[in-house]
């Protein structure tokens, strides 16, 4: 006797009047896929469009756990390290994927369908999510960092943004464009504590000022002149020209400030370009200009590299269904769906070469080629003037970084909030980083 497919079985259940309990039992066997992801616009769009995935796959039920970025990182790490199996799909990045893959915590991304076209995925993205040549997550979007600015405000003040600004120029522009009486702030920057929140941005400032997290012998280099200059500059800039409560602002908060016209400049993830140029999401869509992330002493490490990607924990009980969803969510077809639903400027960037070749994207996203160049030129293995023993532009690619990176982020947020001095913050951060790598056996 030929078995009916789950899809056929589900459709029969909908029309059957008799044998209801049998049908209910069959439907109850549908694969449940629980997805842990972050609360940014791109991921919320994924949740919205996933209704079409469920419609095409009635044997798969998607459950969403949408969390603030810092909380997502904590929950995903706890789930994976304790083998609790709470999540079937987790949004992770270029920090976690190689480490977790190395430890055997993730399902390898092998045997993808032919029409997925893995060769179309930008090599930088694939490499960042691999360990020993094995891919452990599929990129949902890839980003570097860049400078956004208000062309109208610059023009009115007689200012010109260079293609490659320096931090000294950024400070001059911010001073001139701040008008707190109008609720207009010269600059918006991440201040919210977190290794992937304020420290993602702050690390690039440290890099370009010539600093590094550790020397070649894994001795912490946080309490050094380079860090002092970088953090003093960053904190003073936010205090003088940033919005009130800057120490509570992460990516989402600054996106809201910039898109509602409160910031003259914002240095952050390239993924924000699509949101700022989207007229349904941004009040200043026709007034946004862009330039490279600023530099100080060196261009090395001045712009970061990150990929929000989708991975499947080894503890998932619905691995096949999870893989089907992850493949769909990172496919060419999904990008096309977003283009039709939100406009081509808003499609997930940085993942596929075919996106950048599309006339619709070229027309809607004047920043497209610029962003791809920033992504391809960010080098996690050469992000500082002085040599380092780790990989990563805006993070240190070791498991212990989550812990001491968060401690340093909290100390620096305290500087921005006026609760502690730069000296005290960097001394405590240096001690925390040294302690962590000593305990882990990195220091010989």
Q: How many domains does the chain have?
A: 2
Nearest to 118 by CA among 104, 94, 134, 102: 134
| 138 found inside a domain | yes
Kindly state the DSSP code that residue 233 receives in the 8-state scheme.
H
pLDDT recorded at residue 5: 42
Does the structure show a pLDDT above 90 at 21?
no
The vertex-442 CA angle with 440 and 444, nearest 5°, equals: 120
Are residue 317 and residue 291 in the same domain, yes or no?
no
Q: What is the reported pTM?
A: 0.89
* pLDDT bracket for residue 10 (50, 70, 90): very low
| 392 found inside a domain | yes
Write down the H helix ranges in 1-104: 6-15, 20-28, 41-56, 69-81, 96-102
Does the structure show a pLDDT above 60 at 322?
yes
- C-alpha 308/C-alpha 79 separation (Å) is 18
Are residue 277 and residue 328 in the same domain, yes or no?
no
Nearest to 97 by CA among 310, 394, 348: 310
Are residue 154 and residue 247 in the same domain, yes or no?
yes
Are residue 320 and residue 256 in the same domain, yes or no?
no
Are residue 84 and residue 212 in the same domain, yes or no?
no
| Model pLDDT for residues 89-134, shown as the tens digit of each residue | 999 999 999 999 999 999 999 999 999 999 999 998 999 999 999 9
Token pair of 401 as six digits:
């970084």
- C-alpha 63/C-alpha 47 separation (Å) is 10
| 1 found inside a domain | no
Does the structure show a pLDDT above 50 at 139?
yes
| 260 found inside a domain | yes
Are residue 350 and residue 231 in the same domain, yes or no?
no
Candidate from 6-20, 162-176, 242-256, 418-432 with smallest mean pLDDT: 6-20
| Model pLDDT for residues 207-265, shown as the tens digit of each residue | 999 999 999 999 999 999 999 999 999 999 999 999 999 999 999 999 999 999 999 99
Nearest to 209 by CA among 222, 218, 198: 222
| 230 found inside a domain | yes
pLDDT recorded at residue 444: 77
Token pair of 201 as six digits:
């941005």
Are residue 189 and residue 284 in the same domain, yes or no?
yes
Does the structure show a pLDDT above 50 at 434?
yes
pLDDT recorded at residue 238: 98
CATH number reported for the structural domain that contains residue 197 in this entry = 3.40.190.10
| 133 found inside a domain | yes
pLDDT recorded at residue 311: 98
Are residue 192 and residue 262 in the same domain, yes or no?
yes
Q: Give the distance between the most distant pair of CA atoms in the chain.
A: 80
Is beta strand 288-292 parallel, antiparallel or unpaired with respect to 306-311?
unpaired
pLDDT recorded at residue 97: 96
Q: Chain-wide mean pLDDT for the chain?
A: 93
| Domain containing residue 40 | 30-143+306-364
Does the structure show a pLDDT above 80 at 177?
yes
- C-alpha 423/C-alpha 69 separation (Å) is 28
Are residue 201 and residue 113 in the same domain, yes or no?
no
DSSP assignment of 380-435, as one string?
A: TTS-SSS--SS--SSS-SSTTHHHHHHHHHHHHHHHHTTSS-HHHHHHHHHHHHHH
pLDDT recorded at residue 30: 79
Are residue 286 and residue 340 in the same domain, yes or no?
no
Average pLDDT estimate for 198-211: 98
In contact, 30 and 61? CB cutoff 8 Å:
yes
Are residue 294 and residue 318 in the same domain, yes or no?
no
For residues 27 and 220, which has the higher predicted lDDT (pLDDT)?
A: 220
| Model pLDDT for residues 381-392, shown as the tens digit of each residue | 999 999 999 999
| 199 found inside a domain | yes
pLDDT recorded at residue 29: 64
| 373 found inside a domain | no
Are residue 201 and residue 241 in the same domain, yes or no?
yes
Average pLDDT estimate for 371-384: 93
For residues 29 and 315, which has the higher predicted lDDT (pLDDT)?
A: 315
């Amino acid at each position: 006797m030929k078995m009916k497919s789950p899809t056929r079985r589900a459709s029969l259940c909908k029309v059957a009047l008799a044998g209801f309990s049998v049908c209910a039992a069959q439907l109850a066997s549908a694969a449940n896929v629980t997805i842990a992801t972050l609360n940014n616009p791109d991921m919320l769009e994924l949740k919205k469009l996933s209704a079409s995935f469920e419609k095409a796959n009635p044997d798969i039920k998607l459950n969403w756990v949408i969390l603030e970025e810092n909380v997502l990182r904590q929950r995903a790490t706890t789930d994976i390290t304790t083998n609790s199996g709470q999540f079937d799909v987790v949004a992770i990045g270029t920090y976690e994927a190689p480490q977790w893959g190395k430890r055997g915590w993730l399902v390898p991304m092998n045997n993808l369908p032919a029409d997925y076209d893995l060769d179309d995925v930008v090599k930088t993205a694939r490499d960042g999510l691999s360990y020993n040549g094995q891919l452990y997550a599929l990129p949902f979007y890839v980003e570097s960092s860049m400078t956004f600015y208000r062309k109208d405000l610059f023009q009115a003040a007689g200012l010109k943004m260079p293609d490659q600004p320096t931090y000294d120029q950024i400070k001059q522009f911010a001073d001139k464009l701040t008008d707190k009486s109008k609720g207009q702030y010269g600059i918006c920057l991440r201040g919210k504590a977190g290794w992937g929140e304020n420290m993602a941005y702050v690390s690039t400032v440290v890099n370009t000022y010539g600093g590094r997290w550790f020397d070649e012998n894994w001795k912490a280099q946080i309490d050094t002149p380079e860090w002092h200059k970088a953090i003093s500059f960053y904190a003073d800039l936010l205090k003088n020209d940033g919005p009130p409560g800057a120490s509570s602002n992460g990516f989402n908060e600054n996106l809201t400030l910039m898109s509602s016209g409160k910031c003259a400049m914002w240095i952050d993830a390239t993924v924000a370009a699509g949101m700022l140029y989207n007229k349904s999401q941004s009040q200043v869509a026709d007034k946004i200009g862009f330039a490279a992330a600023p530099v100080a002493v060196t261009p090395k490490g001045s712009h970061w590299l990150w990929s929000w990607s989708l991975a499947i924990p080894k503890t998932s009980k619905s691995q096949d269904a999870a893989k089907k969803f992850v493949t769909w969510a990172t496919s060419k077809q999904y990008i096309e769906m977003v283009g039709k639903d939100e406009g081509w400027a808003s499609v997930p960037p940085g993942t596929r070469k075919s996106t950048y070749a599309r006339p619709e994207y070229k027309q809607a996203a004047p920043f497209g080629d610029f962003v791809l160049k920033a992504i391809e030129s960010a080098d996690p293995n050469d992000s500082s003037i002085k040599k380092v023993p780790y990989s990563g532009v805006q993070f240190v690619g070791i498991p212990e970084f989550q812990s001491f990176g968060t401690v340093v982020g909290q100390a620096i947020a305290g500087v921005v909030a006026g609760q502690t001095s730069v000296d005290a913050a960097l001394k405590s951060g240096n001690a925390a980083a040294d302690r962590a790598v000593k305990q882990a056996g990195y220091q010989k």
